Amino acid sequence: MILDKFSLKGKVAIVTGSNTGLGQGICKAYVEAGAKVVGVSRRPSDETAAICGKNFYNVIADLSSCDVIPKVIDETLKKFGKIDILVNNAGIIKRQDSIEFSEEDWDSVLNVNLKTVFFLTQAVAQQFLKQNSGGKIINIASMLSYQGGIRVPSYTASKSAIKGVTMTLANEWAKYGINVNGIAPGYMATNNTQNLRQDEERSADILARIPAGRWGTPEDLQGAAVFLASEASNYVNGFTLAVDGGWLGR
């Protein structure tokens, strides 16, 4: 039956950035859909654990370095025995005029949003091959995978790159039954956009351009996240799906 194809029953998912915002919403959706979830966060994901219950396990890891990748894989396998789904959600943004943007703000964003994402994805895909299981990779992209943005050059670089790498990996790994796709959230009300929402002028400009007439919420992303993690999307490869209240169509 078609709705059964959306079920994540028996699946094991890793979701990075699980303590808050979109990552927390994805953890909740996956547990509701039947999965066991390993949330990776640099601070404890206590609130997410309370929401998700016994099918959630928290691994503490700072994803600004690739050194933590073996720990993430090992702890997931120790706890739940396999990996079926990876959601690369953790990400940071630095806002500054490009004319004086610092090397530090360039490197820190590229490390978390791109380098660690690539090498964690590689490690998980190696595990999928070991398991002979196929699997699902979902990269959280952005409107700035499609557009330039303002005062966020390293973020735009990382999110444009992640959309491209999503296609590269899909091209190489579709033959193994590994689906690599992206989700490009629009303007969502989370910590990531707190400064933007506090800037009255920018906030009003953004809101006026969103056809849906409101900022998105973590709940808005849940349907796409479950779809791309489930059997229902087995023939979707290398695509970055916008969940943006119509922003890109404007």
Give catalytic residue positions.
155
For ligand NAP, which is the closer residue by CB, 18 or 179?
18
Which residues in 22-81 contact ligand NAP (CB under 6 A)?
A: 22-23, 41-43, 62-64
- Site track for ligand NAP across 108-137, x = CB under 6 A: ----x-------------------------
Which residues in 166-225 contact ligand NAP (CB under 6 A)?
A: 185, 187-188, 190-193
Token code pair at residue 109? 């964003």
Token code pair at residue 197? 């929402």
Which are the contacts of 119, defined by CB distance < 8 A and separation ≥ 6?
66, 69
Tell me the Cα Rg of the chain.
Answer: 17
Candidates 20, 131, 133, 203: give the one binding ligand NAP (CB under 6 A).
Answer: 20
Nearest to 34 by CA among 236, 226, 233: 226
For ligand NAP, which is the closer residue by CB, 9 or 250?
250
How near is the Cβ of 36 to ligand NAP at its closest, in Å? Answer: 19
Which are the contacts of 219, defined by CB distance < 8 A and separation ≥ 6?
25
How near is the Cβ of 162 to ligand NAP at its closest, in Å? Answer: 9
Nearest to 91 by CA among 129, 131, 47, 40: 40
Q: Which residue has the tokens 């029953």?
A: 9
Q: Is 140 in the site for ligand NAP (CB under 6 A)?
A: yes
Token code pair at residue 206? 């953004």
For ligand NAP, which is the closer residue by CB, 110 or 129?
110
| CA–CA gap between residue 98 and residue 38 (Å, rounded) | 37
15-21-25 Cα angle (round to 5): 60
Candidates 80, 91, 179, 230: give the one binding ligand NAP (CB under 6 A).
Answer: 91
For ligand NAP, which is the closer residue by CB, 83 or 140?
140
Which residue ranges make up the site for ligand NAP (CB under 6 A)?
Answer: 17, 19-23, 41-43, 62-64, 89-92, 112, 140, 142, 185, 187-188, 190-193
